Amino acid sequence: MSRPLNRAESSPTATTARHLMFDDLEQLDQILAATSDMARDFVQGADDMDVTCRDFSAFDPSRPMPGQGCGTLDALRAAQEEILPLLAASIGPRYLGFVTGGTTPAALAGDWLTGAIDQNATGPEGSVTAAVEEQVINWLCEMAGLPHGRFDGVLTTGATVSNLLGLVAGRQWCGQQIGVDVDADGAGVLPGFEIFAASPHASMIKDLSVTGIGRNSFTKVATRPRTEETDITDLKAKLVASTARAKLVIASAGTVNATDFDDLIAIADLCAAYGAWLHVDAAFGMFAALDDRRAHLLAGLDRADSITSDGHKWLNVPYDCGIFLTRHISVLETCCRAFAPYLQTDAVGNMYINRGVENSRRFRALPLWLAMVAYGRGGFAGIVRANCDQAVDLAQWVRGHDRLELLADPKLNVTMFTGPGSDDDNCALLSRINATGKLFMTPTIYGGRFGFRAAFSNWRIQDHDMEIVRNAIDSVL
Ligand X SMILES: Cc1ncc(COP(=O)(O)O)c(C=O)c1O
- What is the contact surface with ligand X in residues (CB under 6 A)? 98-99, 158-160, 201, 203, 256, 281, 283-284, 310, 322
Is the bond preceding residue 320 a cis peptide, omega within 30 degrees? Answer: yes
Cβ–Cβ under 8 Å, residues 371 and 106: yes
Dist CA 477 CA 468 (whole Å): 14
- List helix spans (H) across 70-127: 72-82, 105-117
- Per DSSP bridges, beta strands 246-252 and 442-446 are unpaired
Minimal distance, residue 291 CB to ligand X, in Å: 17
Nearer to ligand X, 259 or 334 (CB): 259
Dist CA 128 CA 176 (whole Å): 34
Minimal distance, residue 322 CB to ligand X, in Å: 5
Nearer to ligand X, 190 or 454 (CB): 454
Cβ–Cβ under 8 Å, residues 170 and 207: no
Nearer to ligand X, 111 or 182 (CB): 111
Minimal distance, residue 78 CB to ligand X, in Å: 30
Nearer to ligand X, 190 or 198 (CB): 198
- For residue 51, count other CB atoms closer than 10 A to its CB: 23
Minimal distance, residue 423 CB to ligand X, in Å: 23
Dist CA 301 CA 449 (whole Å): 31
Minimal distance, residue 310 CB to ligand X, in Å: 5
How many residues are listed for the chain in this entry? Answer: 477
Dist CA 271 CA 248 (whole Å): 8
Handedness of CA 436, 439, 443, 446 (dihedral sign): negative
Annotate 246-287 with three-state secondary structure: EEEEEEEECCCCCCCECCHHHHHHHHHHHCEEEEEECCCHHH
Nearer to ligand X, 72 or 229 (CB): 229
Nearer to ligand X, 122 or 252 (CB): 252
The whole-angstrom distance between residue 251's C-alpha and the CA centroid of its chain comes to 17
Minimal distance, residue 448 CB to ligand X, in Å: 21
Nearer to ligand X, 321 or 351 (CB): 321
Minimal distance, residue 420 CB to ligand X, in Å: 29
Minimal distance, residue 356 CB to ligand X, in Å: 13
Nearer to ligand X, 159 or 249 (CB): 159
CA distances from 254 to 2, 16, 186, 290, 412 (A): 57, 54, 32, 14, 8
Nearer to ligand X, 284 or 375 (CB): 284
Contacts made by residues 62-70, CB under 8 angstroms, sequence distance 24+ = 67/13, 68/13, 68/16, 68/17, 69/16, 69/17, 69/20
Consecutive H or E run containing 306 = strand 306-310
Minimal distance, residue 210 CB to ligand X, in Å: 12
